[in-house]
Structure 1
Amino acid sequence: MPRYYEIPIAFRNSIVHEPGGRRIVRTADFVRELAALNHHWSLKEANRWIENYQHGFKDISTEEGERRTFFFFNSNNGRY
């Protein structure tokens, strides 16, 4: 049975730390992590959730469609 509190957990599990220090999330990875927790979302639903609840991530996709890539940016210049 899917639980709402597991959605942010799946999101955190889908974050990729690149060698240069960037943190990115691909929608397909997020959907895969959600499926492992019994949430069966489409790419469109996952994109909508990221846009609404993850304000530190910016869309950097290079192709059209629902398979998108989001990049973590710090708008506070390193301050919390």
Structure 2
Amino acid sequence: MDELFLLDVRKAGFRAFLVNLLLNSFMIVWLAALVGVCREMIGHLEKGQYNPSLKLAMDIAGVFGVKVEDLFEFTGE
């Protein structure tokens, strides 16, 4: 993770990195509000630390106008 941070800062500059960080944070909060969960839940989904309910998966897919299968993969575990 630290390497990615250094790469971003060197390539785009610290200001651009902060703008990107703020936009990503805003998008997480926005998505969480639209589907009715806390922002931490979206973070857990993003990291693969949580399996969403069918309703949550369908709600997220609906926000982006895609199929659930385009966002989530069932591994049978």
Write 1 or 2 for the structure with the bigger share of strand. 1
* Shorter-chain TM-score tier: under 0.3
What TM-score does the superposition give when structure 1 sets the normalisation length?
0.25
Write 1 or 2 for the structure with the bigger share of helix. 2
Structure showing greater radius of gyration is 2
- Ranked by relative contact order (alpha carbons within 8 Å, sequence separation 6 or more), the top structure is 1
